[in-house]
Amino acid sequence: MMKVLFVCLGNICRSPAAEGVFLHLLKERGLSNQFLVDSAGTGGWHVGNPADRRMQAAANRRGIQLPSRARQISFDDFSEFDLVLTMDNANLTAVQSLARKAGARATAMIQPMLSYAHRFSETEVPDPYYGGEAGFEHVLDLLEDACVNLLDELSPQA
């Protein structure tokens, strides 16, 4: 069982979308039982909330559901998960700092999500929260690209 955690700032837009896109791909490929997938935020403002309704609407238009309820990342996540994927550079810095504080139990590998993108050269998933509709679509375009390549890499035999 491979355990993957997607992380952004609020855990209501980008990382719930990444989680939903990845879960959707797993279902399509019949690999759902081989992965545990979750998302979390470096911030705690939205804890308990469902994904932003604009993010959900954009995902639903692509046939993707976003089951996430927001939670804040914890020290335990760095021992519980194999892979932690961050959406932007601020998330990456915050997560690396937390992992250092978690000490030797922090065994998870930490990587930028877009290190898996092939079709796009951007290195960060932009925060769509204060922008328009197009921002949410672009987040999904980036995440679909990265998720396909991530899964190809994690399940080369499938």
Is 59 a binding residue for ligand 4NP by CB under 6 A? The answer is no
C-alpha 50, offset from chain centre: 15
Cβ 8 to ligand 4NP shortest distance, Å: 4
CA distances from 108 to 68, 97, 120 (A): 21, 13, 26
Residues 6+ apart with CB under 8 A from 104: none
- List the catalytic residue out of 38, 127, 145, 147: 127
Can you tell me which of 4, 6, 10, 18 binds ligand 4NP, judged by CB under 6 A? 10
13 part of the interface to ligand 4NP, by CB under 6 A: yes
**In the complex with ligand 4NP, which residue's Cβ is closer, 40 or 151?**
40
To the query of whether residue 13 is one of the catalytic residues in this protein, the response is: no
8 is known as an active-site residue: yes
- Please report, as residue ranges, which positions from 83 to 142 form the binding site for ligand 4NP (by CB under 6 A): 127, 129
20 binds ligand 4NP (CB under 6 A): no
Q: From CA 22, how far away is CA 64, in angstroms rounded?
A: 10
The beta strands (E) that lie in 18-144 are given as 35-41, 83-86, 109-112
**Whether 147 is catalytic:** no
3-state helix, strand, coil in the chain (%, to 5): 45, 15, 35
Active site residues: 8, 14, 127
Give the binding site for ligand 4NP (CB under 6 A): 8-14, 45, 127, 129
